[in-house]
Amino acid sequence: MFQKANEASIGYKAVLLIFCILVVIKLFFRLNQNMAYMGYVDIALAINFIIFAYLGIRSIIGKRNKRY
């Protein structure tokens, strides 16, 4: 039980870290006015946000059901 919950939280933290890195990259490119990579960063942020939302919803459902 604890191991699965721990793995989920590690995954959640990893996704949050990647999200923060992508936001920093986006801001950096915005400052440099380098628009060549902005589309790729936007796509990566969108995918990351979907994964983040999925993990959040899954953890909430898991806590409600208490089945691990």
Q: What digits encode the pLDDT tens for the residues 6-20?
A: 666 777 777 778 888
What's the rounded Cα separation, in Å, for the pair 63 and 47? 24
Which pTM does this prediction carry?
0.45
Helix (H, G, I), strand (E, B) or coil at 5: helix
* Residue segments in the chain with a per-residue pLDDT below the cut of 50: 1, 68
What's the rounded Cα separation, in Å, for the pair 68 and 60? 12
DSSP 60: H
